[in-house]
Copies of this chain bind each other. A is one copy, B any other.
């Protein structure tokens, strides 16, 4: 945790920014919720627990800064809010997501899976890929199980 923060601090310095207490508090919340997909408001409320004097605008500014530096990725699942996702250290590309249309859960896929697809796109569309967003909408395992149980009860 601490060394991770140290490295982020260096990334900020390299880009000419400082890790202010507010920024550190925000980064800590993101690190403590690496599995989640927090909205700006979510982050704000969590940061506020430890540092009640922080402002919402500061959280937005910090998240924007971290996005610029590719420390976090901003993603939108179509529910009207942007969510912020800590990028795995050393990951070249943004990871993928599985969004359950029944329970709303979001799972992550860290595997790349797109190498071949990207080769095809770069070759056939002459498009230089810098980043990608891949989200699957469907039914998670848990919800599939629930359906199966309901079927059994009927019989």
Show the binding face of A for B, using Cβ within 8 Å. Answer: 74, 76, 78, 82, 98, 101, 107, 109, 113-114, 116-118, 120-121, 125-141, 144
Instruction: Report how far A78 CA is from B130 CA in the complex, Å.
Output: 15
Contacting A127 at CB < 8 Å: which of B76, B116, B139?
A: B139
- Count of chain copies: 2
Interface of A is mostly: strand
Q: Are A129 and B136 in contact (CB under 8 A)?
A: yes
Interchain residue pairs A-B with the least CB separation, the first 3:
A126-B141, A128-B139, A129-B138
Q: Which of B109, B114, B125, B144 contacts A128 (CB 8 A)?
A: B144
A152, chain B: closest CB distance, angstroms = 18
Min CB gap A104→B, angstroms: 14
Contacts of A107 in B (CB 8 A): 125, 127
Chain B residues with CB below 8 A from A78, complex form: 74, 76, 82
Which of chain B's residues have a CB closer than 8 A to the CB of A74?
A: 78
Chain B residues whose C-beta falls within 8 Å of the C-beta of A116 in the assembled complex: 116
